[in-house]
Amino acid sequence: MKHRDYSLIGERVFSGKLPNGLSVIVVPKPGFLKKYAYFATNYGGVDRRFKVAGNWIDTPEGVAHFLEHKMFDMEDGTNALTTLSANGASPNAYTSSDITAYHFECTDKFPENLETLLSFVSRPWFTPESVEKEQGIIGQEILMGEDDPDHCLYYGLMKSLFRANPMRDSVAGTVESIAKITPEILYDCHKVFYNPSNMVLCVAGDVDPDEVTEIAGNILPDAPGELPERDYGPREAPEPETTRFTKDMEVSLPLFLLGCKSEPAKAGRGSLRHDLTAAVALEILAGHSSPLYFRLYGEGLVNSDFSATFDSAAGSAYSMFGGESRDPARVSDEIKNEILRLSGAGPEPTLFRRIKKAAIGSQIRVLNSFEAICGSLAGGYFRGYDAFESPEVLASVTEDDVAAFFRNSLVTGNMAISVINPAGE
């Protein structure tokens, strides 16, 4: 394995690629008791249509999430979660729009736990009976999500912003879509997306990088697989599908999300720079030290739950502002007015320097979390950049970059709002 030293953050990272195409990234942490492993595939809820061996394949909504649930079943009848827990590890997994990840942390027996992790993720075992049982379990999870105000708020916004992009659909799918999932579909999607060429293994802790690669080489398949071509639907218009979504639910105050579609950056270091510029811009615009937040908070229009975020996946990108408010329409107007002001005037220099300095410090503090280290390295790997370059890239972001984000990525005509109102009012 080769290594790279990052003088700005005082880290050494080992990385390499096995003959089967798996990328391995190890961040040694000498003297630490905890060890963390994160095994991820570049496959999430949006990856429903793809091409392999020259053929386009369409799958139901929710397959990636369903597959994550079923991967813990092992052929001998045991459950990998139980096995890892009994061996002193704390395991878990999740599926997002673009990544499925399996991970654990432990203090002892790391090699044995890593072997278990790699084994159950790479060796699927499904039966018609177990799939039918899981359909009932996940169906209940989906119905619970439909009763959750935050879930409805977010997907109300996604369906408002996007006409066809799969970001508009729940990662878990629908009760109807998961009823179409069969063992054959699960096996086929596992073969396509869980091949080592489409995956990355990230480890942090007091571990030997060569031992990690040796274990991976012994457990995982020898041959690389074909990387699928993905289709996220026709190119979206910049304008939203609809400008407003509302629903009445059991909430004490109205919940709102104001979203804005924008063009995503191409994969690579430019994507990292764009994401970091967005983070600085949104903190200047609506962070808890921004003039807008102080004004809205002082008037009782928002509380400390108010936040602003940027995300990109499946060929899409969007910014969101949201929280609780007695008057979401007024808050939305205030945000739009502040965007227009900053688009012309640009960020105030003193505030810009302070926000950027705080952002660099935040990026460095992330290194205290093994989970954040591995998650950010894996996400960066799939998007073609090195997440450990974040402090360096962030330091190069200028006031002009932020002003350009306000002008180009926060166009008020590309906005939609989702609101959950208290039932009965």
pLDDT 10s digits, 334-368: 999 999 999 999 999 999 999 999 999 998 888 88
| Alpha carbons within 13 A on the beta-carbon side of 142 | 21
Instruction: Reply yes or no on whether the pLDDT at 196 is more than 90.
Output: yes
H helices present in 194-298, as ranges: 209-219, 269-286, 291-298
The residue among 200, 230, 260 that closes a domain is 230
Question: C-alpha angle with apex 107: 101 to 112, nearest 5 degrees?
Answer: 65
Neighbours of 396 (CB within 10 A): 10
For 204-229, write each residue's pLDDT tens digit: 999 999 999 999 999 999 989 999 99
Q: What is the pLDDT of residue 363?
A: 87
Residue 235 lies in a domain: no
Asked about 68 being catalytic, the answer comes back as yes
The residue among 177, 202, 230 that closes a domain is 230
* Stretch 162-181: mean pLDDT: 97
Neighbours of 389 (CB within 10 A): 18
Enter the tokens of residue 7: 């003088």
Residue 7 lies in a domain: yes
* Stretch 185-202: mean pLDDT: 97
Domain match, 201 and 82 both? yes
The residue among 176, 201, 230 that closes a domain is 230
Average pLDDT, the chain: 96
For 283-301, write each residue's pLDDT tens digit: 999 999 999 999 999 999 9
Interatomic CA distance for residues 364 and 19, integer angstroms: 33
Question: Among 38, 32, 42, which Cα is nearest to 11's?
Answer: 32
Interatomic CA distance for residues 213 and 423, integer angstroms: 55
Q: What is the pLDDT of residue 76?
A: 85
Domain match, 387 and 295 both? yes
Query: Hey, which residues does 309 pair with through a beta bridge?
Result: 320
Domain match, 250 and 213 both? no
Could you list the residue range(s) of the whole structural domain that residue 256 is in?
244-422
Residue 236 lies in a domain: no
Contact 13, 3 (CB under 8 A): yes
Q: What is the pLDDT of residue 77?
A: 83
Residue 157 lies in a domain: yes
Domain match, 216 and 301 both? no
User: Is the alpha carbon torsion for 155, 164, 382, 272 positive or negative?
Assistant: negative
Neighbours of 204 (CB within 10 A): 27
* Stretch 68-97: mean pLDDT: 94
Interatomic CA distance for residues 220 and 298, integer angstroms: 57
Cα-based distances in Å from 81 to 66, 91, 101, 196: 16, 6, 14, 22
Amino acid residing at 96: S
* Stretch 186-201: mean pLDDT: 97
* Stretch 3-25: mean pLDDT: 94
Per the document, the length of the chain is 425
Contact 186, 70 (CB under 8 A): yes
Q: What is the pLDDT of residue 212?
A: 98
Contact 88, 107 (CB under 8 A): yes
DSSP H or E run through 115: helix 110-122
Residue 239 lies in a domain: no
Residue 238 lies in a domain: no
Instruction: Reply yes or no on whether the pLDDT at 75 is more than 90.
Output: no
Report the CATH number that the domain containing residue 92 is assigned in CATH.
Answer: 3.30.830.10
Interatomic CA distance for residues 120 and 219, integer angstroms: 10
Q: What is the pLDDT of residue 368?
A: 84
Domain match, 217 and 256 both? no
Residue 93 lies in a domain: yes
Q: How many domains does the chain have?
A: 2
Domain match, 184 and 275 both? no
Domain match, 173 and 116 both? yes
Q: What is the pLDDT of residue 220?
A: 96
Domain match, 139 and 269 both? no
Q: Which of 61, 68, 283, 338 is catalytic?
A: 68
Question: Among 13, 68, 17, 385, which Cα is nearest to 196's?
Answer: 17
Domain match, 62 and 153 both? yes
Domain match, 47 and 110 both? yes
> 3-state DSSP call for residue 170?
coil
Domain match, 222 and 106 both? yes
Name the region of 325 (left: φ>0; alpha: ψ -120 to 50; beta: rest).
Answer: beta
Q: What is the pLDDT of residue 424?
A: 81
Of the pLDDT bands very low, low, confident and very high (cuts 50, 70, 90), residue 179 is very high
Q: Is 374 exposed, middle or buried (0-12, 13-18, 19+ CB in 10 A)?
A: buried
Q: What is the pLDDT of residue 78?
A: 86
User: Is the alpha carbon torsion for 178, 182, 185, 190 positive or negative?
Assistant: positive
Q: What is the pLDDT of residue 371?
A: 96
Domain match, 284 and 171 both? no
Enter the tokens of residue 404: 């350009």
